[in-house]
Amino acid sequence: MDTIFSDNLKKFRQQKNLTQEQAAEILNVSVQTISRWECNTTSPDVAMLPQIAKLYCVTIDDLFKETAVAYENYAQRLAAVYEATRRPEDFISADFEFKKMMKAGSCSTEDLRCYGVLHHQMARYCIEKAMDLFDKVVEQGKDLDQRVFWRTKRQKMLLYSQIGKAQENIDEALAAIQNGSEDAEDWICLIAAYSYSGDDAKAYEWILKAILKFPDKAVLYVYGGDICKNLKKYDEAFKYWGKALELDPEMYDARYSMGFCYEELGEYGRARDMWFDLARDLEKDGYEVEKQFPLELAEKCGAIIDL
């Protein structure tokens, strides 16, 4: 007779340092029932398997595996499952269990380490997935949809800079300019490449050149304002953002930048007004979900003003 299941029940209970009496109390069954399960005399109802698996910090499948072992807790077991499968749904399950432990204040240092590893592994998956999707867009070419192409290209550049490949961005963008590109988007990419790398001084030099060459490109002025803010050239930053909105009144990026700059300068009243105006316009344009973020920012500014 196959005793893997019954043997596992006993092994897992002992690995968790539980007596039959303790296991019975937790599972709300009699001690005799636990004993019969472990002696392979009877088997638990299928509906009880999730409770048993969770008690012993294993999965239901583990109950029937000859080589399965118990973990310190269920969250660690689910983290091990994600490490093996790398499926997003398994990450979500493990993340949910760790969050419950964090809320209960029952995380050990090993739990925190495992939780960190879980996110590290998921971050790598997300980066690889993002790169794959960005490449698919870029490979289709800018002639298909220029706006989507260039937004995707710059998003990929930002991701590159965040994983230590900022110089690759600069080299590629600089080569396009040196090869005589007359496309404003190539110039914007070079400016973005320097800014993403943290070299705002160099980005500023190219902003001045690019604006002379493409004076009617609204997004250039958004980058100009953002870079000036980073360089603490606040008056110049607001002039650039103002010019961007003059060229394109629906340039939401410029308005977000202005709002955050007002906050940085401690001008929370102006920031709050900016967030409320932005939320109103987003709602008017049909962006019901997107309007929530500036509303939350407005409320935070209001709370600071009321202190």
What are the tens digits of pLDDT across the range 242-291? 999 999 998 999 999 999 999 999 999 999 999 999 999 999 989 999 99
- % of the chain beyond a pLDDT of 70: 100
Tokens of 134: 């960005």
User: Mean of the pLDDT values across residues 1-21?
Assistant: 86
pLDDT single digits (tens) 195-224: 999 999 999 999 999 999 999 999 999 999
User: Mean of the pLDDT values across residues 73-81?
Assistant: 87
pLDDT at 200: 97
**Inter-residue contact 74 to 54 (CB < 8 Å):** yes
What does the angle CA 218 – CA 223 – CA 226 come to, to the nearest 5 degrees? 130
Taking Cα atoms as reference points, which of 212, 154, 213, 149 lies closest to residue 181? 213
SS3 at position 276? helix
Cα–Cα distance, 157 to 162 (Å, whole number): 9
Tokens of 82: 């994600």
Cα–Cα distance, 301 to 205 (Å, whole number): 34
- % of the chain beyond a pLDDT of 90: 79
User: Mean of the pLDDT values across residues 186-203?
Assistant: 96
Tell the burial category of 115 from Cβ atoms under 10 Å away from its Cβ (0-12, 13-18, 19+): buried
What does the angle CA 243 – CA 245 – CA 247 come to, to the nearest 5 degrees? 70
Residue 70 above 80 pLDDT?
no
pLDDT at 71: 77
| Domain ranges for the chain | 1-70, 216-307
pLDDT band at 1 (very low <50, low <70, confident <90, very high): very low
**Inter-residue contact 305 to 268 (CB < 8 Å):** yes
pLDDT at 32: 94
Average pLDDT, the chain: 93
State the SS3 of 56-124. CCCCCHHHHCCCCCCCCCHHHHHHHHHHHHCCHHHHHHHHHHHHHHHHHCCCCHHHHHHHHHHHHHHHH
pLDDT at 54: 85
Cα–Cα distance, 187 to 176 (Å, whole number): 8
Cα–Cα distance, 175 to 112 (Å, whole number): 45
pLDDT at 72: 79
pLDDT at 185: 94
Assigned CATH for 216-307? 1.25.40.10
**Inter-residue contact 9 to 38 (CB < 8 Å):** yes
pLDDT at 307: 78
Assigned CATH for 1-70? 1.10.260.40
pLDDT band at 225 (very low <50, low <70, confident <90, very high): very high
